[in-house]
């Protein structure tokens, strides 16, 4: 059961499975092209040359990538929206609770809502004290004691 048509089908299945561990949703279409070549070879028969098989694989790969990829990505990824919220400006002025002592220059931890954040301050702040967020730098909040 290792004829060329089955080898194309096995290659197609392997490439489609490989898509599960690779990003970009591209390898799947090469697998689909290999499977299509295998199915065509089954119907056409043994008179198909290796050159024709490779040309068929290349042609189907390009066609599937150009025409199907955009359509299939929409189905799997759906519509995405960009948040209109300015994440940087959502934090200043909010109140948090220190969960791990802040002892400058070492950072501590604060609880804001249901999330714990790394926090820095200009002066030491004990655990359990309420603080006001002054600014945010990436994942670190700058706080001051209330």
Contact present, 122 and 144 (Cβ < 8 Å):
yes
Cα–Cα distance measured from residue 14 to residue 45, given in angstroms and rounded to the nearest whole number:
23
Cα–Cα distance measured from residue 106 to residue 9, given in angstroms and rounded to the nearest whole number:
59
Percent of the residues in the chain that have a pLDDT greater than 70, as a whole number: 90
Whether 82 is covered by a domain: the verdict is: no
Domain that includes residue 41, residue range: 4-77
Interstrand relation of 115-120 and 140-145 (parallel, antiparallel or unpaired): parallel
Q: What integer is the mean pLDDT of 24-37?
A: 91
With tokens 């490779």, the residue in question is: 54
54/32 same-domain check: yes
72/92 same-domain check: no
54/112 same-domain check: no
Percent of the residues in the chain that have a pLDDT greater than 90, as a whole number: 60
92/127 same-domain check: yes
Write the CATH number for 120: 2.40.50.140
pLDDT in tens, 89-139: 678 899 999 999 999 999 999 999 889 999 999 999 999 999 999 999 888
105/63 same-domain check: no
């Amino acid at each position: 059961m290792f004829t060329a048509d089955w080898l194309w089908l096995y290659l197609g299945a392997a490439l489609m499975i490989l898509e599960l561990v690779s990003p970009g949703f591209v390898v799947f279409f090469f697998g689909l092209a290999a499977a299509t070549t295998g199915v065509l070879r089954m119907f056409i028969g043994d008179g198909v040359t290796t050159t024709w098989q490779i040309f068929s694989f290349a042609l189907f790969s390009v066609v599937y990538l150009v025409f199907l990829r955009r359509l299939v990505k929409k189905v799997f990824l759906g519509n995405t929206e960009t948040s209109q919220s300015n994440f940087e400006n959502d934090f200043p002025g909010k109140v948090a609770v220190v969960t791990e002592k802040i002892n400058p220059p070492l950072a501590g931890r604060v609880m804001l809502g249901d999330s714990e954040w790394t926090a820095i301050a200009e002066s030491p702040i004990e655990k359990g004290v309420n603080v006001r967020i002054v600014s945010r730098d990436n994942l670190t909040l700058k706080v001051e004691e209330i």
